[in-house]
């Protein structure tokens, strides 16, 4: 994929990783549209970044995605790239039997939202000279955190979906790039995560991943150094992986 001269839609662009990527891509000379549920926040972010556009989009609401995408493409017919950054991460106690609403919201937002929006935008992206679909999975797609089982499952599904989509688009000029974050200082799970010294500073994460995107135009998976221990944990075989899974989950439960 090329990193400049694009018209790119960034979902979840009002905060966290989404906003940071929107600002980083705009600095490279791309036309950036941020999307999210809260118009006021989108307007604040676009006002702070002159030239950035905004569009209200709730990816959890499946019925709204197609008409919202059609309206978006009327405004920006040259749109050739989408970055799926919208997502939620909530703890679940599977033993309680009362977390089904959390699971359904997580699947609708993290997985179905990305699939539905890709389906709505892909015909237009294919019409452009080149294009890209950027997904955001997680190191937890490969080594799950037991506190957030559905979140981890959706990210594993995003990894699988990205691979299949990439193969189906292999004879086109549309790239599929999977970004794999580790534990990053954002408000995804509240202020504690944003301030956790164990988490990678957001600015460092964006800088490292953008450098990979800019210098490796054929990259399929954008993997920062600090997530490799999760991404490749299974390479040691089942016994070592099981031991690592246990120690990792225990460490994440420890006070800090």
User: Can you read off the two tokens belonging to residue 234?
Assistant: 């299974």
Q: Reply yes or no on whether the pLDDT at 256 is more than 70.
A: no
Instruction: Concatenate the DSSP letters of all residues of 184-253 into one string.
Output: BSSSTT-HHHHH-TTSBPHHHHHHHHHHHHHH-TT-SEEE-GGGHHHHTGGGG-HHHHHHHHHHHHHHHH
The answer to the question of residue 142 being in a domain is yes
Q: At what angle do helices 62-75 and 113-127 cross, to 10 degrees?
A: 30
- pLDDT (0 to 100) of residue 109: 97
Classify residue 108: in a domain, yes or no.
yes
Instruction: Tell me how far the alpha carbon of residue 231 is from its chain's centroid.
Output: 16
Q: Is 133 helix (H, G, I), strand (E, B) or coil?
A: strand
pLDDT over 70 percentage in the chain: 99
Q: Which domain holds residue 94?
A: 7-253
Q: What is the count of structural domains for the chain?
A: 1
The answer to whether residue 115 scores a pLDDT higher than 80 is: yes
In a domain, 2, yes or no: no
Instruction: Please name which of 213, 182, 209, 214 lies closest in space to residue 198, comparing C-alpha atoms.
Output: 182
Strand order in the sheet with 31-36: 53-56, 31-36, 7-11, 81-84, 131-136, 174-180, 221-223
Strand segments, DSSP code E, in 57-173 are 81-84, 131-136
Domain of 166, CATH number, reads 3.40.50.720
pLDDT value, residue 189: 86
- Determine which of 74-78, 119-123, 197-201, 211-215 has the lowest per-residue pLDDT on average: 197-201
CB of 31 within 8 A of CB of 6?
Answer: yes
* pLDDT tens, position by position, 86-98: 999 999 999 987 7
Q: Does 77 have pLDDT greater than 80?
A: yes
Indicate whether 1 belongs to any domain. Answer: no
pLDDT category at 26 given cuts 50, 70, 90 is very high
Tally Cβ neighbours within 10 Å of residue 157.
18
In-domain check, residue 97: yes
Q: How far apart are alpha carbons 184 and 140 in whole angstroms?
A: 12
* Three-state SS at 132: strand
Q: How far apart are CA 1 and CA 172, in angstroms?
A: 12
Res 255 pLDDT > 90? no
Contact, 61 vs 112, CB < 8 A?
no
For 152-179, the pLDDT digits (tens) are 999 999 999 999 999 999 999 999 999 9
Count of beta carbons in the 10 Å neighbourhood of residue 75: 10
């Amino acid at each position: 994929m090329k990193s400049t001269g694009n018209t790119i839609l960034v979902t979840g662009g009002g905060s966290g990783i989404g906003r940071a990527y929107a600002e980083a891509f705009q600095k490279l000379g791309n036309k950036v549209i941020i999307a999210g549920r809260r118009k006021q926040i989108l307007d604040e972010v676009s006002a702070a970044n002159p030239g950035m556009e905004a569009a209200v989009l709730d990816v959890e609401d499946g019925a709204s995605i197609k008409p919202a995408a059609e309206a978006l493409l009327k405004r920006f017919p040259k749109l050739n790239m989408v970055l799926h950054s919208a997502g939620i991460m909530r703890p679940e106690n599977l033993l309680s039997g009362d977390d089904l609403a959390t699971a359904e919201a997580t699947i609708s937002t993290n997985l179905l939202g990305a699939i539905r929006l890709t389906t709505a935008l892909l015909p237009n992206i294919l019409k452009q000279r080149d294009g890209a679909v950027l997904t955001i999975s997680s190191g937890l797609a490969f080594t799950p955190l037991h506190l957030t089982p559905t979140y981890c499952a959706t990210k594993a599904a995003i990894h699988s979906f990205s691979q299949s989509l990439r193969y189906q688009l292999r004879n086109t000029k549309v790239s599929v790039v999977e970004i794999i974050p580790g534990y990053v200082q954002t408000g995804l799970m509240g202020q504690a995560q944003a301030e956790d010294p164990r988490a990678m500073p957001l600015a460092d994460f964006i800088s490292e991943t953008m450098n990979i995107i800019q210098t490796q135009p054929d990259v399929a998976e954008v993997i920062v150094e600090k997530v490799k221990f999760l991404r490749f944990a299974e390479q040691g075989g089942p016994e070592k992986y099981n031991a690592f899974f246990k120690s990792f989950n225990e460490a994440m439960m420890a006070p800090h």
